[in-house]
Structure 1
């Protein structure tokens, strides 16, 4: 009876822990199979985690090592990390607080903060070029960001609460930004439409000059921002490492993307995945056997309710029996 009572108490504690560990918001990262970023509530704190295997293993985001001025940021895991706002925009012409694109695998732009938990104070804009393994800050204020030319360039505009006549374009994944004027008069930008198409590089700004003015539409052909069509020398390859592990969801994929700072336009035959090959399964790729659970060290150990020695009790002296290693 005492053993049953202890088992029930442990089960109740486990259920309470599951209730406290809630996923508030989650976002699938476009272009990387099995990768999710989620805000999870644990011990009354909301923190941002990333997984590369559909939620089996989660980890915190490593904060940038320096700020925009190059000053060192002292943020050590797990007490301090990067936290992202994961709200999708209700306006289809605004980008929302996190942006990914399947034609630009590994590039993630998001609004967030550095600290012990998610906060809506002291936020900035951050970018990752390697699918969340490392991050850099790109703006101190919130911006709307869009991908141009299949992700070959980034377009940024300040939040619509502030009128502006400038846009920012980056060809090196947010390391350097070039400012361009798109209007003679500051405009409250209510949205931007980036029209798809290989030979139709048109973006349309719409908004108003003041709260009482009529709608304004400004069309821009951004083809002139690019110096040429990309050639073989303008591309580079990369593959995702999950903490040094090249295999993600059973595959090692090699991607091709434009070299940073190369202001060329991606061609019609551009393909983001260069090659893909299956990985050889290892012990960590398998689930634990019945009655076992995976611990923090990655090994399978008997659960609190399971006793592996029970099988041996029915075995007589001199006989053999099979038992699981977990």
Structure 2
């Protein structure tokens, strides 16, 4: 690698920034489509709110991955595009773009809609003032939702050409699966009156509605689960796996009014839940659910949480199945308090305003690869963290670059690019073709710029990187795009790849590399191969089944694993109590040796612990919901039929109670006995599942440290909840 040739294409996009009462402008970049090469740049600045409402926007478009730009501001009639809404790109890569414009002088709003990757835009008047970003239906991007500032819910089925109001007094709205829409509403017009909200659902774009829960504090959707925090004098978390038809109370440890629950993530198989510790410790415990989302098991103690209750270091690693990272609070004398351990910085560090410009980065096409900021030792080393690289999904880490950097992954991991994060102007970029072992530098400009950010096309298949910033005179935004295609001139061949067994720790062991019941052997690029994977590169892997071991099991309800132990032992607070929980309306009793198979695990034979759930035939359906399943357009005849059925059921119930009293119970009513967990849940206030709920914790009482935490779990939806 003695000779390096890099083709650099530079385009300067600028607008005038005035002094005085003008605010500093903002810049937004958005990639349109997948492999289209189309990049839109929107620059905005506006007058502060205490003055007259006014702003200005400029729109630029590139068709060659940002090498050249064209000013297309005339396509949006030189109107002001709201910076908080930015550019709304459809997630289906179909080229749909939607911009929201504020026509200030007449207090009206317009949409500028494009279905041809931003080549042309169609202006459309909005019949309302939007409050939030336009929300694309993931299943059909011609259909969008939004809320108005008067809390009306609006929907379009023709990509914004026409809109209709489908509901009023809406507080929070989310798209669900199969074109369904979930939202909370309060008919007194106040969304601040939490605990008195209704959770409603529509499956036909607002033509009929179903109330699936009442007395709702808030709700969250994750994977196939619906969560609702219900007010029953206290707050209780309910979960549904059928869209809100049937609800179960989540069986979790109790919390007091100063504690909270928070959902970290969810997929089709399970839920990750943070349960706060008492005493403002700044930490809690991570629990994971069964495939029903109802029964939870302890997974990690002393889990770090922010003082605002909005960010944790919990991170899903997308480059390797079953890998997650998060941070724990150290205890005196614990193994994590040793100075030699590496702490990986994530959302907590950025929330604390530490010098961490980027979160941990991984890509599905770059197998096992992770880039992250980290620090080793005492607190002083965290003030200027370095860049570390892992090539095995977080099992081991290599110090790659000194000091904070912006970084990205190109060519499916065949190329790493970084630029220093500093207050001084920069003109140098760094790149590596061997997964961060060796780095080269390139001076991309003779006139250094203050770097604001760096970006590449999503998916890590591109060979182009765009940097943006401003010169010393602060008069222009500068966008510089570097094309690395001429660096990797040779296409990769079969000989450039080598077999690699993921999760391998002991090659001599028969179950080496087994995660979730099977092994994965990948073809990975050799570190010494300087070649181009290409846009059509696809990850190649071979699967092999594994025998079941204790690693294929979570600790069951009421059990946990002590540190450095694979054995599940019974929790002290559960000893002597029956292991019971409420599921689908009846009390279930659990007889277990302490192990529950991880949802999605495909192991066969081997370790097979005893586990049995017995239906005790005791009703335990939560009475906290009282959903009205009738749609708003139900006919009078339907209502009459329902009333008749209810009357018949009431008559039958009275007769049944009389018979039970007389002949079965000797004239005494049966007394329903709740499970231990249910008593706890109903006796205390349960916090959490609340996007806007502030949680206060004092983190100064303990030293913050971290570890790379792995759990053998199915890869989940990375959207944090």
TM-score over 0.5 (shorter chain): yes
Q: Select the residue among 273, 280, 297 that pairs with 2:547.
A: 280
Q: What does residue range 144-159 of structure 1 map to in structure 2 within 5 Å?
A: 144-159=406-421
How much does 1:198 deviate? 10
Q: Select the residue among 575, 585, 588 that pairs with 1:306.
A: 575
Give 1:22's aligned residue.
303
Partner Cα distance (2:561, 2:472) in 1: 59
Q: What does residue range 244-323 of structure 1 map to in structure 2 within 5 Å?
A: 244=506, 245-288=512-555, 293-295=560-562, 296-304=564-572, 305-306=574-575
The 3 A distance-change label for structure 1 pair 205 and 89 is: farther
Partner Cα distance (1:21, 1:126) in 2: 24
The 3 A distance-change label for structure 1 pair 217 and 43 is: same
The 3 A distance-change label for structure 1 pair 199 and 259 is: closer
User: Which one has more relative contact order, counting CA pairs under 8 Å at least 6 apart?
Assistant: 2
Equivalent residues of 1:81, 1:116 under 8 A apart? no
Give 1:319's aligned residue.
none
Q: Select the residue among 479, 484, 492 that pairs with 1:230.
A: 492
The 3 A distance-change label for structure 1 pair 324 and 268 is: closer
Equivalent residues of 1:201, 1:221 under 8 A apart? yes
When the two structures are superposed, what TM-score results if normalisation uses the length of structure 1?
A: 0.70
Matched position secondary structure for 2:382:
coil
Partner Cα distance (2:560, 2:315) in 1: 27
CA RMSD of aligned residues (A): 3.7
Q: Say yes or no: does 1:80 pair with 2:340.
A: yes
How much does 1:278 deviate? 3.0
The 3 A distance-change label for structure 1 pair 269 and 79 is: same
Equivalent residues of 2:406, 2:454 under 8 A apart? no
Matched position secondary structure for 2:368:
coil
The 3 A distance-change label for structure 1 pair 200 and 96 is: closer
When the two structures are superposed, what TM-score results if normalisation uses the length of structure 2?
A: 0.34
Partner Cα distance (1:216, 1:325) in 2: 63
Equivalent residues of 2:518, 2:543 under 8 A apart? yes
Matched position secondary structure for 1:206:
strand
Q: Which moved more, 1:17-26 or 1:98-107?
A: 17-26
Q: Say yes or no: does 1:101 pair with 2:101.
A: no
Give 2:675's aligned residue.
none
Q: Select the residue among 456, 471, 481 that pairs with 1:219.
A: 481
Q: Select the residue among 394, 398, 405 that pairs with 1:136.
A: 398
How much does 1:227 deviate? 2.8
Equivalent residues of 1:22, 1:42 under 8 A apart? no
The 3 A distance-change label for structure 1 pair 300 and 208 is: closer
Equivalent residues of 2:365, 2:460 under 8 A apart? no
Deviations 1:236-256 (A, max 9, x none): 221222643411222211122
Between the two proteins, the alignment pairs up a number of residues equal to: 270
Q: Select the residue among 184, 189, 204 that pairs with 2:466.
A: 204
Larger Rg over CA atoms: 2
Equivalent residues of 1:84, 1:111 under 8 A apart? yes
Structure 2 runs not aligned, ≥5 long: 1-254, 257-275, 285-300, 306-311, 507-511, 578-590, 595-721
Q: What does residue range 44-83 of structure 1 map to in structure 2 within 5 Å?
A: 80-83=340-343
The 3 A distance-change label for structure 1 pair 145 and 299 is: same
